[in-house]
Amino acid sequence: MSWVVSLPCTRDEAEALSGEIPALDALSEAPVVVTREIDEDAGLWQLDAYVDDRPSAALLKLLPALVPSAAGKTPAVEKLPEEDWVTLSQQGLEPVHAGRFFVHTSSYADRVPQGSTSFLVDASQAFGTGGHDTTAGCLAMLDRLARAGAAPRNIADIGTGTGLLAFAAMALWPRARTIASDIDPASIAVTRNNAAVNDIALGRGGGRLTLAVAPGTDHPAIRHRAPYDLVIANILAGPLITLSPDIAAATAPGGHAILAGLITRQMDDVLAAYRAHGFRLAARGGSGEWPCLLLVKRRRFGYRRKERALHRANPADASFGSW
């Protein structure tokens, strides 16, 4: 028998819960947490925590602390019928349709639009639903970049989450060398499983995806393969700013960076950090509240000293991954 514990929350709280939650992971039975928007017009969101057994007192005490807006509210506890709790948790996960891409869970496997490039990504502990708008923005930006004639040969997806954006890039540029990294080993395990489900070849060389557990760009394989024609980072504003010198060092002059995970009021700070390291804004996409930024690293002419990645990322900052 499975159980679900529910609490109302805000969108900002849902965003914060999309990453790794050490306090929940420390529980004897870590729940699978899904956040979803239940009323778009009213801006109402909800946290659902799924567990196999009756929720512990520790879980019931911890969850309200994660959503301060629900202070004073008692969590709703419901015993679920004998059904697959993963399927239940996916019912709130609508497909993402952006550009040529259609990303769906098993619940929508029979509704894939004809002619689309589709990926099956089921619910897992590596992500929450708070990143859907940012995911759609990144997919649309990748599609836009390809339609504009870009042809990157060396691609890095930093903070890959479930591997989706790396998969999309490989579908667009199948001969490119692609590496996907995440600070969370569980995310890389999920990416490996998703690669098998979606017939993505793993390994080294063109047309294969290399995986790495790493905080930001701090990994020998990432450093060895730099510089990159395209860097994708769908994380959060804080880690994006912290990683700006490293992403700049890893990006080839004239190369592109796709940044997402930030909200509108954070955009100026993120842009300022990247402009300071030689990038310019080429395009803005995404939704009104969740922008997706396409940056180009300016070319430098004449003598300049070799750039090296600084790897200033705080491992605690870089845990957010894409859907």
User: Does residue 301 surpass a pLDDT of 90?
Assistant: no
Q: Is 314 annotated as a binding residue?
A: no
For residue 50, the domain's CATH number is 3.30.70
Give the model's pLDDT for residue 161.
87
Give the model's pLDDT for residue 153.
97
Judge if 192 and 244 occupy the same domain: yes
**What's the rounded mean pLDDT across residues 200-217?**
94
**Band of the pLDDT at 89, cuts 50, 70, 90?**
very low
Q: Is 159 annotated as a binding residue?
A: yes
**Band of the pLDDT at 37, cuts 50, 70, 90?**
confident
Most confidently predicted of 70-84, 218-232, 288-302 = 218-232
Each residue's pLDDT tens digit, 94-142:
788 899 999 887 777 778 888 899 999 876 544 433 346 788 999 999 9
Q: Find how far residue 205's CA is from the centre of its chain.
A: 24
Judge if 193 and 290 occupy the same domain: yes
pTM of the model: 0.70
For residue 61, give both structure tokens: 């005490």
**What's the rounded mean pLDDT across residues 74-94?**
65
Three-class SS of residue 104? strand
Question: Interhelix angle for 132-147 vs 164-172, to 10°?
Answer: 10
Q: Is residue 100 situated within a structural domain?
A: no
User: Does residue 14 surpass a pLDDT of 70?
Assistant: yes
Judge if 52 and 139 occupy the same domain: no
Judge if 149 and 239 occupy the same domain: yes
For residue 247, the domain's CATH number is 3.40.50.150
Angle, alpha carbons 255-304-180 (nearest 5°) = 35
Q: Which domain holds residue 82?
A: 2-90
**Band of the pLDDT at 20, cuts 50, 70, 90?**
low
**Band of the pLDDT at 249, cuts 50, 70, 90?**
very high
Rounded-to-integer distance, Cα 207 and Cα 194, Å: 16
Query: For the ranges 114-128, 130-144, 259-273, 308-322, which has the lowest average pLDDT?
Result: 308-322
Judge if 71 and 135 occupy the same domain: no
Q: Is residue 79 situated within a structural domain?
A: yes
Q: Is 234 annotated as a binding residue?
A: yes
107 vs 238, more confident: 238
Sequence-distant contacts of 112-117: CB under 8 A, at least 24 apart = 117/168, 117/171
Judge if 141 and 32 occupy the same domain: no
Three-state SS annotation for 131-195: HHHHHHHHHHHHHHHHHCCCCCCEEEEECCCCCHHHHHHHHHCCCCEEEEEECCHHHHHHHHHHH
Among residues 90, 114, 136, the one where a domain terminates is 90
